């Protein structure tokens, strides 16, 4: 099958896409992890013998773009292809080999047919607990939980009891994590059956010719897209809150012919607090930002990203070295897309967005529920305003670049002894501009517990708010308060009975000069009370 017709290729490719989505769906349905079920915090992929990914689930989240091939290649260095046998499953959650924190467990499974590997099925899924005691003040990666080195969790179809025992003894919820792991084994079996069915239906032995076409067409498409851009080097530099002193994220994009090089040279060195990011996560978010700006429909496969290189100096915030703590990798990694957009704005201003109120905000509440007599741990997510776009305002409180939804307050209050007293837009928080940034939101929580609740907070954009683009103004900075007094943005804070904690997320940056704002939009903002008469937007 060296010369495959475009009609047939299209149909096989479509079927592969549907097949991997089915596999992922059947896993999601049975997963214990709430972030897997509700936010699709997982990815399934098919990769070839060289570790090139050719199909990935359409539902997976940005931080998993392009990381599985890197993990598979690292695994194959430990267990080369000739040491693998049918029924093997290899596992690791090493932050440097996987997606950048221990909670994401990656596994791969060689699919043998007639004695040879025709593909690898791979998956990454978030697990709620990975042991350890991650804290906002962690000094190194060893505090962050159990690291599973590359090992064989299933050998020729038989679970390795030693590996399972290590997991069993080091996790707080081993049944749930192992349940998810075993659900992925079942998903690999399903992927194998469906792949064999496809090969049988098509009367072919392997997918080599199909994979070659998929990768080369994807690559050619991305190369054409890049070739349409003017050559040159475009850079951006942003200052971010950091832990106890400001840090720099610097991004240079070099467009040469049909290739793009993204380099983060000039970014601050890593620090001994868990805001560092590993290279895989930096790579994933750089590719994500380029895909959003250049071709949102580009397939997630190695071909699409072959014309793109991403580099960052060894030991910097965005390419941290062991044993840096990386638990809060999103606190620096979520700056990658705005840094890429900032640089791209100099060449394709009509295809990017101003900065959003991210990195993602969340609070862990931990305490004791007197009503049930049981301890509780609950994570609450809240998003800032979205950055303005080239032809429209930024939506209020939309998750970017991650995609995490909020939880209904009515459900939250049923689970924890906290009363939410407001969840509201804050006027004058969206950056001014021809198009306005999305407004921030404010949430207040009053403790109705009888004992103190510990809040774990890791918030950015308290000092340096989201910037506007092309003359647009910045959004407002975020604020963390207890009883009206400011509290540290990265800390564990006790909330006593009756205390009120207030969190105000950052507002999105504006785009274009405020003087160019169409009068009817300005009037609508005033009528809605999003911009008050005595102040332009923040």
Partner 1 sequence: MSDATYRIGVDIGGTFTDLVLLNQATGALLNGKVLTTPDDPSRAVLDGIRALLRQHDVPPAAVGNVIHGTTLVANALIERKGVKTALITTSGFRDVLEIGREWRYDLFDLQLEMPPPLVSRQNRFELTERLAPNGEVITPLDEAAAAALARQLADSDIAAVAVVFLHAFKNPAHERRVKAVFAEHAPGLNVCLSSDVSPEIGEYERSSTAVANAYVQPLFRRYVADLAAGIRDLGIARDLFLMLSDGGTVHRSAAVEYPIRLVQSGPAGGAQAASLHGRLAGESELLCFDMGGTTAKACLIEQGRPSRTTSFEVARMFRFAKGSGLPLQVPVVDMIEIGAGGGSIARLDRMGLIQVGPDSASSDPGPACYGLGGTEPTVTDADLLLGYLDAGSFLGGDMALDVEKAEAAIRARIAEPLGISAVEAAWGIHETVTENMAQAATIHALEKGRKVEGYRLVPIGGAGPVHACSLAAKMGIGRLICPTGAGVASALGLLASPTAFEFVQADMQPLDGLDFTRVEAMVRDLAARGRELLAASDVAEANMAAEYSVLMRHVGQGYEVEVPLTLETIAAADAATIADRFARVYHDLYGRNENMAPEVISWRVVVTGPTPDLSLDASTAGAGPAAKKERQVYFAETGGFTPTPVHARDGLSATDTLAGPAIVEERESTLVVPPGWTVRPHASGNLILDRT
Contact positions with partner 1 (CB under 8 A) in 435-464: 441, 444
Residue by residue, DSSP assigns 71-105 as: HHHHHHHHS-GGG--TT-EEEE--TTTTTSSTTEE
Residues that contact partner 1, how many (by CB under 8 A): 78
Of 200-229, binders to partner 1 (CB under 8 A) are: 217-218, 221, 225
- Which residue in the set 390, 437, 473, 474 belongs to the binding site for partner 1 (CB under 8 A)? 390
Kindly tell me which of 11 and 265 has the beta carbon lying closer to partner 1: 11
Neighbours of 120 (CB within 10 A): 28
Q: Among all chains, which residue has been given the structure tokens 């773009």?
A: 65
Listed residue (142, 136, 147, 141) closest to 171, CA to CA:
147
Complex with partner 1: residue 162 or 411, whichever CB lies closer: 411
Instruction: Please state the separation of Cα 522 from the chain's center in Å.
Output: 34
Interacting residue with partner 1 among 268, 270, 319, 383 (CB under 8 A): 383
Cα–Cα separations (whole angstroms), residue 301 to 51, 87, 219, 261: 11, 25, 9, 18
CA distance 527 to 283: 43
Residues 232-291 close enough to bind partner 1 by CB under 8 A: 288, 291
177 lies in the binding site for partner 1 (CB under 8 A): no
DSSP state of 466: P
Q: Is residue 306 a contact point for partner 1 (CB under 8 A)?
A: no
CA-based nearest residue to 163, from 176, 150, 144, 145: 150
Query: Is residue 2 part of the contact set for partner 1 (CB under 8 A)?
Result: no
Of the two residues 34 and 168, which places its CB atom closer to partner 1 in the complex? Answer: 34
317-356 binders of partner 1 (CB under 8 A): 351-353
Least distance CB 183 / partner 1 (angstroms): 9
**Taking CB under 8 A as the criterion, which residues in 56-75 touch partner 1?**
61-62
**For the chain, what percentages of helix, strand and coil (3-state, to nearest 5) are there?**
30, 25, 45
- Contact indicator for 72, 122 with CB cutoff of 8 Å: yes
Based on the shown chain and the rule CB under 8 A, indicate whether residue 14 belongs to the binding site for partner 1. yes
Q: Binding segment for partner 1 among 14-22, 149-157, 459-467, 480-488 (CB under 8 A)?
A: 14-22
Q: Which is nearer to partner 1, 175 or 314 (CB)?
A: 175
User: Cβ 403 to partner 1, closest distance in Å?
Assistant: 5
Residues of this chain, 406-425, that bind partner 1 according to CB under 8 A: 406, 408-411, 413-414, 419-425
Q: Please, what is the minimum distance in Å from the beta carbon of residue 408 to partner 1?
A: 4
* Residue-wise burial string across 474-484, b where 16 or more C-beta atoms lie within 10 A, e elsewhere: bbbbbbbebee
Please name every residue paired with 185 in a beta bridge, in sequence order, or none if there are none.
none
DSSP-based three-state secondary structure for 46: strand
Position 498 contacts partner 1 (CB under 8 A) = no
Query: Is residue 172 part of the contact set for partner 1 (CB under 8 A)?
Result: no
């Amino acid at each position: 099958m060296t010369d495959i017709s475009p009609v047939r290729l299209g149909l096989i490719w479509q079927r592969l896409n549907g097949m991997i989505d089915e596999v992922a769906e059947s896993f999601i349905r049975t997963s214990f992890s709430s972030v897997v079920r509700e936010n699709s915090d997982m990815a399934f992929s098919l990769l070839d013998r060289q570790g090139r990914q050719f199909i990935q689930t359409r539902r997976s989240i940005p931080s998993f773009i392009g990381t599985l091939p890197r993990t598979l290649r690292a695994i194959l260095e430990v267990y080369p292809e000739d040491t693998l046998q049918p029924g093997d499953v290899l596992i690791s959650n090493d932050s440097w080999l996987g997606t950048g924190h221990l909670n994401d467990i990656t596994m791969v499974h060689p699919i043998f047919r007639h004695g040879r590997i025709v593909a690898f099925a791979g998956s990454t899924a978030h697990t709620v607990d990975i042991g350890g005691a991650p804290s906002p003040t962690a000094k190194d990666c060893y505090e962050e939980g159990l690291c599973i080195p590359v090992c064989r969790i299933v050998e020729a179809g038989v679970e390795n009891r030693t590996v399972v025992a290590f997991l069993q003894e080091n996790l707080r919820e081993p049944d749930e994590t192992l349940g998810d792991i075993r659900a992925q084994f079942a998903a690999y079996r399903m992927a194998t059956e469906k792949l064999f069915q496809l090969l049988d239906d098509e009367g072919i032995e392997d997918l080599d010719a199909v994979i070659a076409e998929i990768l080369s067409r994807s690559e050619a498409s991305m190369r054409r897209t890049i070739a349409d851009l003017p050559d040159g080097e475009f850079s951006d530099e942003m200052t971010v809150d950091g832990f106890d002193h400001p840090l720099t994220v610097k991004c240079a994009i070099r467009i040469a012919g049909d290739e793009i090089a993204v380099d983060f040279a000039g970014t601050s060195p890593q620090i001994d607090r868990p805001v560092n990011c590993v290279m895989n996560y930096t790579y994933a978010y750089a590719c994500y930002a380029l895909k959003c700006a250049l071709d949102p429909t580009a397939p997630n496969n190695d071909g699409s990203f072959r014309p793109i290189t991403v580099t960052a100096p060894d030991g910097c915030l965005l390419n941290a070295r062991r044993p840096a703590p990386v638990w809060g990798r999103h606190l620096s990694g979520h700056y990658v897309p705005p840094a890429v957009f900032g640089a791209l704005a100099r060449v394709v201003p009509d295809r990017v967005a101003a900065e959003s109120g991210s990195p993602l905000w969340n609070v862990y509440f931990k305490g004791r529920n007197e009503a049930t007599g049981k301890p509780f741990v609950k994570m609450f997510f809240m998003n800032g305003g979205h950055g303005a776009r080239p032809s429209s305002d930024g939506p209020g409180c939309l998750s970017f670049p991650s995609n995490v939804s909020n939880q209904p307050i009515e459900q939250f209050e049923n689970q924890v002894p906290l009363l939410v007293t407001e969840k509201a837009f804050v006027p004058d928080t969206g950056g001014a501009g021809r198009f306005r940034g999305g407004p921030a939101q404010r949430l207040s929580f009053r403790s109705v517990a009888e004992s103190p609740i510990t809040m774990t907070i890791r918030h950015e954009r308290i000092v340096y708010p989201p910037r506007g683009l092309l003359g647009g103004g910045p959004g407002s900075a975020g604020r963390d308060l207890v009883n009206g007094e400011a509290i540290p943005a990265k800390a564990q804070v006790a909330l006593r009975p009756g205390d009120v904690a207030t969190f105000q997320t950052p507002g999105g940056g504006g785009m274009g000069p405020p003087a160019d704002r169409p009068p009817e939009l300005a009037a609508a903002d005033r009528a809605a009370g999003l911009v008050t008469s005595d102040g332009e937007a923040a």
